[in-house]
A and B are shown apart, each in its own frame.
Chain A
Amino acid sequence: MIQLKNISKVYGKTGSQQVTALDHVSLTINKGEFVAIIGTSGSGKTTMMNILGMLDRPTSGEYYFENREVSTLTENERAAIRSKKLGFVFQKFHLLPKTTAVENVELPLIYTDIKDIRHLATEALNKVGLSDRIKHRSNELSSGQQQRVAIARALVNSPELILGDEPTGNLDTKTGLEVVGILQELNKSGKTVILITHQQNIAEHANRIIRIRDGRIAEDRLVENRRNAATEQMNLALVDQ
């Protein structure tokens, strides 16, 4: 599904100011995988995410998405792919202020010709367990609920790939687990998920971990004892009692 060939990203003009964020990275991700990209800040994982999400272009190298070279496409063409095939979840949620949950979820569909977007948005909110918060405004929701709205927004266009950029970074352990649980559920239902994180325990919910260090892939392994967020949540609940 995704193939990176010798992708490099260099920031700054020529000379000593240059910073190499990604250094000849090659990578293949298959449909149905749940990949965690892990690294410390400054390791290049955010750059990786931006390139995978077609928000940024690599300085050199090729990026094939469903066998199509996308790094050379125009901005509007890439916007069209994002609109149809990708779903984004961010660390800071990025919900529109003063706007209801369902309107936030509708946002990606506004820029399509799909009809009855209210129905689709409501369905997506049902999937993340927020059917009773549809008309609540962003500021009336807890941070965990806000991130679930953001996941619903990422789901609403039935994307092939869901990209999470530190989606648990602003959440406590319990709500973080909720969010990872939803991502695991989505993966089970066939979506490809790429999760960027710096937390090892969060990364272990994926079935594959790619560690990035200084712009290179330092480690790429399958997870043997994969964590299950649903079980962890139940255990947490027991401890609380």
Chain B
Amino acid sequence: MIMYKRIFGSGVKFLLRYKLQSFFMILGVMTGVVLLSLTFAMGLGTERQISSKVKDFFGSDNIFIMAGKSIQKGGPRAKGQVTTLKIADLEAILNAVPGVVSFDPVQALPECEIISGGRNISTDVLGRSAEGEAIWNRTVTSGEYFTKADEKSAARVALLGPKIARQLFGDADPVGAQIRIGNVLFMVKGVLEEKGTDPHGNDLDLEVIVPITTLMSRLTNVDYISSAKLEVDGTKTGETTDIISVVLKERHSINEGESDDFLIITPVQVQEMMQKMNKIFSLYLPLISGVVLILGGIIISVVMLMSVSRRFSEIGLRKTVGASSNNLLFQFLTEAVLISLVGGITGLIVGLSGIWFLFAKLGYAFFIPWQTIVFGVLLPVLIGIIAGIIPARKAASLDPVKALA
């Protein structure tokens, strides 16, 4: 035992004696570990951020019905080319399908001109029902949400996203003010709470929301909607989805074998989508960084091989004075593991500070993924052993007679 302790100590001394050589080996592993922990944590952090947004946007007790089939999956706004989805369909679903609690129809008017006083902004106007407040989990910070009555009477009231309110009115309270959407005059009824961007990168704080009925009759002049978000009993979404599908097929007279003119998106599908996305973040990016780490191992291997050649006479001497092949094997492996461990731990420190810095910039909550500890400690040990084995064996098998000649 004391012998191995001493061999270990002499390895440490050697590495300190040849600082430049040690530095390069450490640098190789360190770079790999820094990149690995950075990409991994970035992936994990982004993933967390996105899933929390997706959850906010699409909970486990929500179902989306979208008009048309060819629309991008999960897209919140469709262009409305498919004209068969009506509010009446949703009312029928609410009445006929058990488990459906409420619905919020959505119709959008993209790139619409909003004018107030001398200011003019172009943004997306969304039509929603009074239920939207609960279903989208978004209320107002000043004024109030529009009511069922507003919806019934197609009242010309609008809710402004916080950024729109700021751009049009500055710091003044816009509630009660008049704005023009397209050619129609509206009264600002409230300012929506801040939500940031949705998972697709759309800025929700730039939205203007009006009652769906108002949008359909006064702005777009259509009788169809592009999509609807339903609140359902979360325990049997599968069953509910099937019944909704049957109801819609019947109402739209779609026979067996014909393709649907609607698309139902359930939490299960969203989860699958998320998992695919997560793979990119948590698998492929770290894989690339892992290659860098392997490069670090190769650097150790090559530098140590050169070092063994340079230390020819030293190794011969050690053997002559009684070091066994196993002693030398142990000594060289120790050196390799030690180097990569130092590289790993410094890499981990640098990587974690980098993560901390990046997360602070991006506004993510800081956390230390346990995997980075594995990358920073266990992986380098493994790489040290693998990288060290060739040089160590070469050293151990050296003939002292030739080495000392």
Contact = CB atoms under 8 A, between A and B. Distances in A.
Interface of A: 50, 53, 55-56, 75-76, 79-80, 82-84, 86, 88, 90, 94, 96, 98-99, 103, 107-108, 110-113, 115, 117, 153, 157
Given A107-B318, A110-B10, A50 B401 contact: yes
Interface string B3-29: 100110010010001000000000000
A90 B322 contact: no
Given A90-B404, A96-B314, A98-B17, A112 B324 contact: no
Interface string B311-338: 0011011111111111100000000000
A55 B7 contact: no
Given A98-B17, A113-B2, A115-B2, A157 B401 contact: no
B320 A82 contact: yes
Nearest to A111: B323
A113 B322 CA distance: 12
B199 interface: no
A112 B401 CA distance: 22
A179 B260 CA distance: 102
B400 interface: yes
Given A56-B401, A110-B7, A113-B2, A76 B326 contact: yes
Given A55-B401, A103-B13, A110-B7, A157 B322 contact: yes
A57 to B, nearest CB: 10
A99 B320 contact: no
B312 to A, nearest CB: 11
A75 B229 CA distance: 79
Contacts of A153: 321
A113 B3 contact: yes
B322 A79 contact: yes
Given A83-B323, A107-B318, A110-B10, 9 more contacts: A79-B319, A79-B325, A82-B320, A94-B313, A96-B314, A98-B17, A111-B323, A157-B321, A157-B322
Contacts of B3: 110-113
Q: Is the interface of B mostly helix, strand, loop or mixed?
A: helix
Given A110-B3, A112-B3, A55 B326 contact: no
B321 A88 contact: yes
B278 to A, nearest CB: 51
B322 A83 contact: yes
Given A55-B400, A90-B404, A80 B6 contact: no
A111 B396 CA distance: 14
Contacts of B404: 55, 90, 94
29 contacts: A55-B319, A55-B401, A55-B404, A75-B324, A75-B325, A76-B324, A76-B326, A79-B319, A79-B323, A79-B325, A80-B322, A82-B322, A83-B322, A84-B322, A88-B320, A88-B321, A94-B316, A94-B404, A96-B317, A98-B17, A99-B13, A99-B17, A107-B321, A108-B322, A110-B323, A111-B318, A113-B1, A153-B321, A157-B321
A86 B13 CA distance: 26
B326 to A, nearest CB: 7
Contacts of B1: 113
Contacts of A84: 322
Contact of A107 (B316, B317, B401): B317
Give the interface centre of A80, A103, A108 by most chain B CB atoms within 10 Å.
A108
Nearest to B18: A98
A110 B322 CA distance: 9
A75 B321 CA distance: 13
Contacts of B323: 79, 83, 110-111
Contact of A82 (B2, B321, B326, B401): B321
A112 B321 CA distance: 11
A182 B7 CA distance: 30
Contacts of B17: 98-99
A90 B400 CA distance: 13
Give the interface centre of B1, B6, B322 by most chain A CB atoms within 10 Å.
B322
Contacts of A96: 314, 317
Contacts of B317: 94, 96, 107
Contacts of A76: 324-326
A112 B5 CA distance: 11
Contacts of A112: 3, 322
Nearest to B9: A110
Contact of A110 (B6, B313, B319): B6
A30 B84 CA distance: 113
A86 B319 CA distance: 12
Contacts of A107: 317-318, 321
Contacts of A75: 324-325
B20 to A, nearest CB: 12
Nearest to A103: B13
A96 B319 CA distance: 13
A108 B401 contact: no
Contacts of A111: 3, 7, 318, 321-324, 327
Contacts of A98: 17
A114 B320 CA distance: 18
A83 B10 CA distance: 17
B5 to A, nearest CB: 10
B31 to A, nearest CB: 28
A78 to B, nearest CB: 9
A96 B322 CA distance: 16
